[in-house]
Structure 1
Amino acid sequence: MKITIDNLDGMGAVDYSGTVCADSPLKIERVLNAPSRCSGMLDISAEALAAPARRGRVVVTSDNGTILFTGYVATEPERVYAGVATIGPVYRYAFSAISDEWLLDKQATPLSGAGFALPGGQVLTTLTNRVDCGLFTTSGVEGGAKVGVFEPMQTETWSGNAGRVADAIYAAYRVLNGAVTMQPAGAVTHALSDGDGTLQIAALKTSAVKELANDVTVSGEMEPAAYITEAFAGDGATTVFQLAQTPFRPKKSANSSRLLSDSFNEGAFNSRVWQLTDPGAHLGFGASGLAMTGGNGFDGQTTLTAIDGVEMGGSLVIEAGNLQLGGASTGVVCGLYGGATLSANCLAGYNVRQSDGATVVVPLVNGAEAGTVFTLLSGHTYTLRIRLHCVEAQRVLQAYYAMVDGAVQQFGGGVVAAPMSVVFELQDLGASSNTPATLLYDGAVATSTASCSFVAVNSVQLFGSMGYCRVTQTGSAWVTSTLPSGTRVTRLIGVAGEGVDCTVSATGKVTFMAGRIPVAGEIVTVTYRGQQRAVARLENAASIAAEAAGGAPGTAQWLGKVTSPAARSSMDCENAALAVLSFSASRAAAIAGTYEAGNPADIWPGDVLAIASGGETMNVIVRRVEVANESAWPEMLTYRIAFANDWAEGLGLKLSEAIAADALLPQTALTTVGNVLANLQQLQIVSATGTTLQLDAGMAPPAGGGLEVRRRDWDFGPGVDQDLVLRSPVRNFSIPREAQIERYYVRMYDGSTPPLYSRFSSAVFTDLPVGS
């Protein structure tokens, strides 16, 4: 090996190869999807060389020129007493260097949003660009498979987050010689066979570190469960209504509620938040924040776009505050786009244009104007808000990858289709703080894209300023009112001073503002999701039958928890369990071992060893490699390799042996995933009288099936009658009223034997007077 060290003293890279101690040779340790380390002992007493310095640049190459390691001395070298020579006491220097990503790990990880169904290479490149100081190239990062949902953790280093990205798509990253690269695990295969002598049997050690498992139960995170519609009666005096259950909210984290916030007060666009496209330099800064001074006249060419996408689930609030727009303005403000940044692709945004010499804003929904045209007054400052609500809080499904028979397979992924309610409101900041916001549009779209890009400004020709913009995830609650006249309106949720109607606390307390209290005869309806622990149980029927061939029970159960990638729903848990069964039910499951070779082709973690021995071939992923210089001539490098398959050491799926304590374990194992009927996402109360509830399921049940109504959840099925209220073969049906406070759960079923049901119930809770 040749080692050079640049001590940053102006001398450049100095050759230290001759100072390496023979009894403590150089050693390089490589770990899959983690930084590499190089260590050794240097004796510089006989050389006129400086002691290695902290932050010194270390480069190690083999005699054939292969770069084995590049990195930095992370800590001050240890001064080790070696005895006394004619020149006096002699010291050696023990050093330890960390690979190049050490520089990235020293930078703070910025608060950032999640990546939704993006190629892993794109996620890694974005992560690197956010902390890179222009020192590294990412041209060697392959796009690779798509992640399902990936959220960087601010408490982790760059390498910790990068490792999770690579793990999630079954890939291997490395940082070498100033370049970040990533390629699929197994892109390089090393064939070892006892038949041709490339495999040294004595150097191979393998063992099974886990038992076979063919009945797998896994738990995940808290997920949104029942679709709840809860109705209250106003009396003109009651201001607080307590929901029967706690509404689902996304997992608490630093950025789970405030997805984006920028006050434009730093004098430069934050490159960790925004991607700026501005060929004509029309977007900048002024005393009022973001300054807009025109555009090039073309749609989608002068834009300020958030780097992170927005998952279109639950309740979202998009807000542009302290906004002033001058004459001749044209463009879109606060737009959510389901494709390229063009008005035709805008799911929701404020279209700004000219009308009879005045500047107006108009709601833009699915690329077309809708609702009320509002004329902006010269010199006035406004807050524009868009509220969106989708009953599906999680629109993007997680993807899991595993190696099956030598090839990587994907389990899961995809998106959840769902309708979305949209409300546009405007607040003139010159009015008093309790003046109701002006409603410009209150409607819905039949289906929406699962994730969108957020573009604060799409300036065809915009003139004015924006004080701040925000994107907030507020949970799953949505409040509407049916007035005594029969008119249905959306009640705006927020905080005092925003011209809203009410607040909804994390515990489910709905509090109405003064002047907005529900009047007598008004029916207040709150739509939200319940919550439960995501869990799934799957079995491999073929494996169970094979294991039972000798007369003993064939089931081999395993219970655990998915730790990464996050299983946000029961569907995710099913796909994770299916991935686990793809490798846990094999007789070759849970193989781990080591192999030692001299001077092989350079081996890195993530490579595959195809080991053929005794007529059988085993494909395993290299997890760790230690390269040791044996101080021989010619050069002798010993590679000590640790390998494992997925069941022994997870790669695309990280598991814990401890299942969540609050998981309700399924009593029956499934054999396939997703074998359920559609949920009744749009079930609603059509009318509520003193004697009857009239419901619309939102969709017709399948032929031979119907809608089953019960007083309790989780007990659906034929032959279970103690909580049964009724079964209806049509989508519109009525339930006789029995008490003021009532709870009903509805699921759809089909005509199969046994029947399939919806995965979750649609629940109707009422607190309404009962009459004769």
Structure 2
Amino acid sequence: MKVTIDNLDGAGAVDYSSALCGDGPLKISRTLNAPSICSGMLDVTDAALPVPVRRGRVVVTAANGTILFTGYIATDPEAVYAGTGLKGPVYRYAVSAVSDEWLLDKQTVPLSGAGLGQSGGQLLTTLTNRVDAGLFTTTGVLNGLAVGVFEPSQTENWSVNAGGVASATYAAYRVLDGAIGMQPAGTVTHTLSDGDGSLQVAALKTTSVKELANDVTVSGDMEPTAYVTETFAGDGTTTVFQLSEDPFRPKKTANSAQFLLDSFNEEVLDTQIWQLNDSGSHLGLSAAGLTMTGGNGFDGQTTLTAIDPVEMGGTLVVEAGSLQLGGASAGVVCGLYEGATQSANCFVGYNVRQSGGNTVVVPFVNGAEVGTVFPMLQGHIYTLRIRLHCVEVQRVSQTYYAMVDGVVNSFGGGLVAAPMSLVFELQDLGVASNTPATVLYDGPVVTSPVSCSFVAVNSVQLFGSMGYCRITQTGSGWVVSTLPSGVKMTRLIGVAGEGVDCKVSAAGKVTFFAGRVPVAGELVTVTYRVQQRAVARMEDAASVAEEAAGGVPGTAQWLGKVLKPAARSSMDCESAAMAVLSFSASRAAAVAGTYVAVNPQDVWPGDVLAVTSAGQTMSVVVRRVEIADGMGCPEMLTYRMSFANDWAEGLGLTLSEAIAVDALLPSTALNSTLPVGSGVLSNLQQLQVVSATGTALQVDSGTAPPAGGGFEVRRRDGDFGPGVDQDLVLRSPVRSFSIPREGQIEHYYVRMFDGSKPPLYSRFSSAVFTDLPVSE
């Protein structure tokens, strides 16, 4: 080996090969999706070779020119007493270096949102550019497989997050010689066979480290379950209404409470948040915030776009504050786009244009103007908000990967369709803080995009400034009032001083502000989701039958928790369980072992060893490689490779042996040969109470019943099925039906069922909760 060290003293890279010690040979340890470590002992008694320093750059090269390691000395070398020489005590120095990503690991990982349906290569490149753009080249990063949902952790360093991206897409990353690379695991295969002499059978050691499992139960995160519609009666004085359940809120992460926030108060635009497309230099920063000084006159060519996509689930609030727009302005502000940034692709936004010599803003939905045209007064400062509510909080399903018989298979994935409610509101900051916001549009859309790109400014010719911009995920709650006249209006949720109506706490308390209290006869309907631990149980029926062939029970159960990629729903848990079963029911998948070779082709973690011995071929993924210098001439490099299959050591799926303690374990297992979700019907996303009288609730399920089926109503959740009479209220074969009133406070749960034997039901209930007077 040739070892050079640059001690940052101006002397450049110095050859330390002659200082390598035989009793402390140089070793390089490579671990799959983690930094590499190079360690060894140096004898630097020769005055020509200074003691290496911390942060010195180390390069190790094989005799054939292959670069084996590049990195930095992370800690001061340790002086090790070696005896006494002619000039006194003699010391050798133990040196340990970390591969190049050590530089990135010293930087802060910025707060960012989740990647949705993006390739692993895209995510890794974005992560790298955010941490320190230009420090390393990323040309060796291949796009590879797609991630369902991946959210970097701000509390972890670059290499941990990069390893998470690579593992989630069944890939391997490495950083070598100033370049970041990532490629699918198994891109390089090393063929070893005892038939051609390339396999030293004595150097091959294998073992089975886990028992077979053919009945798998896994838990995930907390997920939204029942769709609740809870109705209260106003009396003109009551200001606080307590919900029956706590509304579901996404866990507090970068992609939940505060998805995006920029006060535009720095010297330059934050490239960790935005992508700027502005060849004419029309967008910049000033004391007023983001300053707009025109555009090139074309749609979609002068834009400020958020790097992260927005998952269009739950309740989102998009806001542009301290906004001023001058004359002759044209363009779109606060736009969410499905596809390229063109007005025709704008799902929601504020269209800015000229009308009668005035600058006006108009709500924009699906590329067309809707609602009220509002003239922007010169010199006035405004806050524009768009509220979006979707009953589905999670619109992107997770994808899991596993290697089966040497081929990487995918499990899960997909998108969740759903309707959405929209409210556009405007607040003039020159009026009193308790003045209600002006609602420009309040209405639904039948279908909505799963994710959008957020474009703060699409300037055809905009003049003015924007003080701040933010997107907030507030949970799953949405409040609508039905006035005694029958008119419906959305109640705006927020904090006092924003011109809104009420606030909703995490504990399910709805509090109306002064001047916004529901009047007598007003019905207040709160829509939200309840929560429960995501869990699924799947079995490999063929394996169970095979194991039972000897007259013993064939079920081999395993319970655990999905750690990475996150299982946000029971459907995700089903996908993860299917991925686990793809390898846990095979004894070969539990194989782990080692192989030792001298001077082989350079091997990296993520490579595959195709080992043929005694006529049988086994494909295994290399997890760790240790290279030891044999201190010989010619060069002898000993490679000790540790390998494993997925059941022995997970790659695309990280599991815990302990299932969540609050998981309600399913009593029966689903068949892993059936597609995920095939055992349930659609949820009743659009079920609503059409009217509530003192004697009955009129319900519209929102969809036609399936052939031979209908809608089942019960007083408790969870016991749906034919022949189960307890808690049954009614079964309706038609879309709209009436539920007789029984008391002031009532809870009903509704699921759809079909005509199959046994019938299939919706996965989750749609719940109708009421606190309304009844007739005597």
Q: Fold conserved (TM > 0.5)?
A: yes
State the alpha-carbon separation in 2 of the partners of residues 596 and 625 from structure 1: 10
Give the conservation status (yes or no) of the 8 Å contact 1:599–1:636: yes
Other structure's SS at 1:742 match: strand
- The residue that corresponds to 2:649 in the other structure is 649
Q: TM-score, normalised by structure 2?
A: 0.99
Q: Distance in 1 between matches of 2:390 and 2:684?
A: 13
The equivalent of 2:208 in structure 1 is 208
Q: 1:487: which partner in 2?
A: 487
| Corresponding residue of 1:283 | 283
Partner of 1:739: 743
Q: Which moved more, 1:645-654 or 1:669-678?
A: 669-678
Q: CA deviation at 1:255?
A: 5.0
Question: Aligned equivalents of 1:686 and 1:448: distance in 2?
Answer: 23
Map of 1:769 onto structure 2: 773
The C-alpha deviation readout for 1:204-237, integer Å capped at 9, x for no partner, is 1111110000000000000000000000000001
Q: What is aligned with 2:384? A: 384
Give the match for residue 139 of structure 1.
139
- Whether the 8 Å contact between 2:112 and 2:254 is mirrored in structure 1 is no
What's the CA shift string for 1:655-690, capped at 9, x where partnerless? 000000000000000003212100000000000000
Corresponding residue for 1:719? 723
Partner of 1:38: 38
What amino acid is aligned across from residue 414 of structure 1 in structure 2? G
1:223 corresponds to: 223
Where 2:159 maps in the other structure, the secondary structure is helix
Q: What is the CA RMSD across the aligned residues, in angstroms?
A: 0.7
Q: What is the rounded CA distance, in whole Å, between the counterparts of 2:130 and 2:646 in structure 1?
A: 31
Distance 2:520 2:448 in 1: 36
User: Where do residues 538-617 of structure 1 align in structure 2 (5 Å cutoff)?
Assistant: 538-617=538-617
- Residue 735 (structure 1) shift: 0.5
Q: What pairs up with 1:510-525 in 2 under 5 angstroms?
A: 510-525=510-525
| Amino acid paired to 2:713 | V
SS in 2 for 1:123: helix
| Alignment of structure 1 residues 58-69 onto 2, 5 Å | 58-69=58-69
Per-residue CA shift, 1:377-411, capped at 9, x if unaligned? 11100000000000000001001000011100110
Matches within 5 A, 1:376-415: 376-415=376-415
- In 1, the alpha carbon distance for the partners of 2:495 and 2:435 equals 13
How far residue 449 of structure 1 moved from its aligned partner, in angstroms, is 1.2
CA distances 1:33-88 after superposition (whole Å, capped 9, x unpaired): 00000000110113511110110000000000000000000000011111122232
Answer yes or no: is 1:19 the counterpart of 2:15: no
Distance in 1, matches of 2:728 and 2:76, equals 73
Q: CA deviation at 1:251?
A: 1.1
What's the offset of the Cα at 1:587?
2.5
In 1: Cα distance, 2:618 partner to 2:510 partner: 60
Cα distance in 2, alignment partners of residues 341 and 261 from structure 1: 21
5 Å matches for 1:681-700?
681-700=685-704
Q: Determine the structure 2 residue equivalent to 1:124.
A: 124
Find the counterpart in structure 1 of residue 660 from structure 2: 660
Paired residue for 2:308?
Answer: 308
What letter matches 2:74 in structure 1? A
Aligned residues: 772
Contact 1:168–1:565 (8 Å) recurs in 2: yes
Percent identity over the alignment is: 77
Query: Take 2:71 and 2:575, find their aligned partners in 1: how far apart are those partners?
Result: 39
Of 697-706 and 254-263, the range deviating more from structure 2:
254-263
Tell me, in whole angstroms, the C-alpha distance in 2 between the residues paired with 1:682 and 1:316: 19
Runs of 4+ in 1 over 4 A off after TM superposition: none
Matched with 2:634 is: 634
Name the SS of the counterpart of 1:192 in structure 2.
strand
Alpha-carbon distance in structure 2 between the residues aligned to 1:237 and 1:381: 34
Distance 1:612 1:695 in 2: 66
Whole-angstrom distance in 2 between the partners of 1:574 and 1:617: 31
Q: Distance in 1 between matches of 2:693 and 2:362?
A: 38
Name the SS of the counterpart of 1:588 in structure 2: helix
Aligned residues of 1:210 and 1:589 also touching (Cα < 8 A): no
CA contact (8 A) 1:337 1:345 kept: yes
Say whether residues 1:703 and 2:707 are aligned partners: yes
Q: Deviations over 1:90-134 (max 9, x none)?
A: 111110000000000000111111111101100000000011152
| 1:427 to partner: Cα distance | 0.4
> Which residue of the partner structure matches residue 2 of structure 1?
2
Distance in 2, Cα, partners of 1:515 & 1:681: 32
State how far apart, in whole Å, the 1-side matches of 2:692 and 2:92 are.
87
| One-letter amino acid of the counterpart of residue 107, structure 1 | Q
Residue 156 of structure 1 aligns with an amino acid whose one-letter code is E
* C-alpha displacement of 1:493: 0.3
Match of 1:161 in 2: 161
SS in 2 for 1:147: coil
| SS at structure 1 position matched to 2:21 | coil
Per the alignment, residue 730 of structure 1 pairs with 734
Q: CA-to-partner distance for each residue in 1:284-312, whole Å, 9 max, x for gaps?
A: 11221111000011111111111111110
- Alpha-carbon distance in structure 2 between the residues aligned to 1:332 and 1:267: 24
What is the DSSP-based 3-state SS (H/G/I as helix, E as strand, rest coil) of the residue aligned with 1:48?
A: coil
Query: Which amino acid counterpart does residue 593 of structure 1 have in structure 2?
Result: G
Contact kept? 1:707, 1:746, Cα under 8 Å? yes
| 1:178 to 2:182 alignment | no
Deviation at 1:448, TM superposition (A): 1.1
Residues 593-619 of structure 1 show CA distances to partners (whole Å, capped at 9, x for unaligned) of 011000000000000011111221111
Q: Secondary structure at the match of 2:573?
A: helix
CA distance in 1 between partners of 2:500 and 2:16 (Å): 70
> Retained in 2: the 8 A contact 1:676–1:758?
yes
**Aligned twin of 1:753:** 757
Specify every segment of 5 or more residues in structure 2 that has no aligned partner in the other structure, as ranges.
Answer: none
Q: Shift of the alpha carbon at 1:252?
A: 2.1
Q: Where do 1:234-633 residues align within 5 Å?
A: 234-253=234-253, 255-633=255-633
Q: Is the partner of 2:464 in helix, strand or coil?
A: strand
Deviations 1:406-442 (CA, angstroms, capped at 9, x unpaired): 1001101111000011100000001100000000000
Tell me how far apart the structure 1 counterparts of residues 178 and 692 of structure 2 sit (CA, whole Å): 68
Deviation, 1:701, is 1.1
Which shows bigger deviation, 186-195 or 386-395? 186-195
* Cα distance in 2 for residues equivalent to 1:561 and 1:602: 36
TM-score by structure 1 length? 0.99
Give the AA of the match of 2:551: G
For residues 706 and 111 of structure 1, the distance between their equivalents in structure 2, rounded to whole angstroms, comes to 47
CA–CA distance in 1 between the matches of 2:643 and 2:256?
Answer: 37
Instruction: Quote the offset at 1:254 in angstroms.
Output: 5.1
Kept in 1: contact 2:208–2:587 (CA 8 A): no
Partner SS, residue 327 of structure 1: coil
Partner of 2:56: 56
In structure 2, relative to structure 1, the CA distance for the partners of 1:742 and 1:315 (3 Å cut) is same
Deviation at 1:253, TM superposition (A): 2.8
Per the TM alignment, residue 256 of structure 1 is displaced from its structure 2 partner at its CA by 2.1
Residue type of the alignment partner of 2:326? G
- In the alignment, structure 1 segments of 5+ residues that lack a partner are none
Residue 186 of structure 1 and its aligned partner are, at CA, apart by: 0.5
Q: Which moved more, 1:246-255 or 1:733-742?
A: 246-255
Is the contact made by 1:111 and 1:255 (CA closer than 8 Å) also made in structure 2? no
- Which stretch has the larger CA shift, 563-572 or 186-195? 186-195
Q: CA deviation at 1:444?
A: 1.2
1:135 Cα shift? 1.8
